[in-house]
Amino acid sequence: GAVVSQHPSRVICKSGTSVKIECRSLDFQATTMFWYRQFPKQSLMLMATSNEGSKATYEQGVEKDKFLINHASLTLSTLTVTSAHPEDSSFYICSARDERLAGGTPSSYNEQFFGPGTRLTVL
């Protein structure tokens, strides 16, 4: 199957700094990627939909100025947590939609491939 990578896998930063997380589709193109947040022992919560060449779409309650998303190429989306605070500490997961199966349509008949996640700890 297709592979999605995330970098870094783990990051520890000081409060007030910004952290960038990369999500790459290694062997397929993805015009749409998704960013999730997962708290311990909880489910994945969708944060935003990253669209190549256009602005990201954020879910209700997610601060777009806090969580900057850039999808500059068909294989790379980045999530930047700006002015991080301890409450931003979480597990961040990205997924990429395989356009080849969906044929470039909004149809959901497709498989999403998930990255391994990035553990962010803000001190």
Q: Contact residues for another protein (CB under 8 A)?
A: 32, 34, 42-46, 49, 93, 95, 97, 102, 106-112, 114-117
Shorter beta-carbon distance to another protein: residue 51 or 89: 51
Shorter beta-carbon distance to another protein: residue 84 or 115: 115
Measured in Å, how far apart are the chain's first and last C-alpha atoms? Answer: 37
- At its nearest, how many Å lie between another protein and the CB of residue 55? 14
Shorter beta-carbon distance to another protein: residue 88 or 99: 99
